[in-house]
């Protein structure tokens, strides 16, 4: 099966990808990459392209792997999804949010560049709407199975149910106990409300992905890796033979994935889960793979990037310890210390969850202690 792809070039820019002795020529027009958070410092990893392709224009980034970039209605304005050539069609990894614009991009893809092709399965990395949003719609449209981790599937099902739509909403009282100012508290309590609007109904059955299992796609065995921190059981795929690693949201090139606390488990040590997952990936996956993330650009230099992300979180922990050296502080008071630049409401809500994750990590290691006075929690350095 061979496909030819055509790109509309506004401002012709050609980049040459030298990969596995195969020279690919890509043309791009969209040079604007707007990222939500540059908190993880700019990386020195080697990007294989300097700018992303147009929305919805498939680009072959490796033999039998197509990269499609979809717009998102957030400050982080895009998500990357991938088509992996399988036995009888293509496996799709992640889907974009459910809105009219993304549905029409998919319709155009299957009546244009992918006309006559079929999808054989949908694989979803984790429960966030930019990844799972159109999974139900695509699975029904092509009558194909959905593959997901059990935790993320069940969480997405829970959030898709009207009675469960508040699962991910922090209660106002909880936020106030952490010193969050009332204006931000009402913004944060809205979070999670929009899940239903951004997701098509999920199929009633799914195929469970578990760490260590193999998915065979078009003659290539992909090992399933899972990791916590950003989502409870996020799936990544590693083709050791093909040298491709779908890092999904766990390892991104320029930004640091949000590692937060959820209202479901406010005392969890999700930063520890995330750092342990980075360690496992570093051990399991070769450093010279082509990393295919769900945000930003494909890149090489996996181990270096993992080290940068891990150092970034340790620096944040150090900043908290410095800040509380003078006086005990609430998580609300730590927000401007950790995130000095202006943030939009959605980013502020992520920032709260992220600050609490770092605080929980330090409490679990007895480097911070939690003090309670009149229903407000403050944290001070231990010893
Ligand atoms: Zn995500």
pLDDT digits (tens, 9 = 90+) for 235-253: 999 999 999 999 999 999 9
Round to whole Å and give the CA distance between 270 and 101. Answer: 34
C-alpha 7 – ligand 1 centre gap (Å): 28
C-alpha 326 – ligand 1 centre gap (Å): 35
C-alpha 41 – ligand 1 centre gap (Å): 19
Ranges of the chain with pLDDT below 50: 1-42
Q: What is the DSSP letter of 226?
A: E
Round to whole Å and give the CA distance between 222 and 45. Answer: 24
C-alpha 130 – ligand 1 centre gap (Å): 7
User: Pairing between strand 13-19 and 299-300?
Assistant: unpaired
Topology at the third CATH level for domain 13-311: Metallo-beta-lactamase; Chain A (3.60.15)
At 43 the pLDDT is 59
Given a contact cutoff of 8 angstroms between Cβ atoms, the answer to whether 256 and 278 are in contact is no
C-alpha 260 – ligand 1 centre gap (Å): 11
C-alpha 114 – ligand 1 centre gap (Å): 27
At 192 the pLDDT is 52
Residues linked to residue 46 through DSSP beta bridges, in sequence order: 300
C-alpha 243 – ligand 1 centre gap (Å): 23
At 6 the pLDDT is 34
At 229 the pLDDT is 97
C-alpha 21 – ligand 1 centre gap (Å): 33
C-alpha 253 – ligand 1 centre gap (Å): 14
End-to-end CA distance of the chain: 65
Given a contact cutoff of 8 angstroms between Cβ atoms, the answer to whether 259 and 268 are in contact is no
State the number of CA atoms in the 13 A half-sphere of 365 facing the CB: 13
């Amino acid at each position: 099966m061979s496909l030819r792809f055509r790109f509309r070039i506004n401002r012709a820019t050609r980049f040459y990808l030298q990969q596995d002795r195969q020279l690919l020529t890509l043309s791009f027009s969209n040079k604007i990459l707007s990222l939500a958070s540059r908190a993880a410092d700019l990386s020195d990893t080697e990007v294989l392209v300097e700018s992303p392709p147009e929305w919805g224009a498939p680009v072959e980034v490796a033999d039998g792997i197509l990269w499609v970039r979809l717009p998102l209605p957030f400050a982080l304005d895009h998500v990357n999804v991938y088509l992996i050539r399988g036995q009888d069609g293509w496996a799709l990894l992640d889907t974009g949010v459910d809105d009219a614009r993304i549905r029409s991009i998919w319709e155009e893809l299957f009546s244009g560049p992918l006309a006559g092709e079929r999808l054989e399965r949908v694989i979803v990395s984790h429960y966030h709407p930019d990844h799972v949003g159109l999974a139900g719609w695509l699975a029904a449209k092509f009558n194909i199975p959905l593959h997901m981790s059990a935790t993320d599937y069940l969480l997405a099902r829970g959030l898709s149910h009207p009675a469960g739509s508040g699962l991910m909403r922090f209660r106002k009282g909880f936020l106030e106990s952490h010193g969050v100012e009332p204006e931000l508290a009402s913004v944060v309590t809205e979070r999670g409300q929009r899940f239903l609007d951004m997701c098509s109904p999920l199929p009633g059955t799914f195929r469970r992905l578990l760490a260590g299992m193999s998915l065979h796609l078009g003659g290539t065995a992909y090992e399933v890796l899972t990791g916590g921190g950003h989502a409870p059981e996020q799936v990544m795929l590693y083709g050791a033979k093909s040298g491709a690693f779908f890092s999904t949201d766990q390892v991104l090139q320029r930004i640091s994935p949000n590692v937060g606390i959820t209202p479901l488990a406010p005392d969890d040590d999700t930063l520890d889960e995330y750092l342990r997952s980075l360690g496992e990936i570093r051990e399991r996956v070769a450093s010279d793979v082509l990393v295919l993330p769900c945000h930003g650009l494909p890149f090489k230099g996996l181990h270096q990037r993992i080290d940068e992300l891990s150092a970034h979180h340790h620096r944040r922990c150090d900043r908290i310890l410095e800040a509380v050296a003078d006086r005990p502080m609430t998580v609300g008071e730590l927000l401007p210390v950790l995130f000095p630049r202006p943030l939009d409401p959605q980013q502020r809500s992520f920032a709260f969850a992220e600050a609490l994750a770092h605080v929980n990590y330090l409490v679990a290691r007895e480097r911070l202690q939690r003090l309670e006075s009149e229903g407000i929690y403050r944290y001070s350095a231990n010893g």
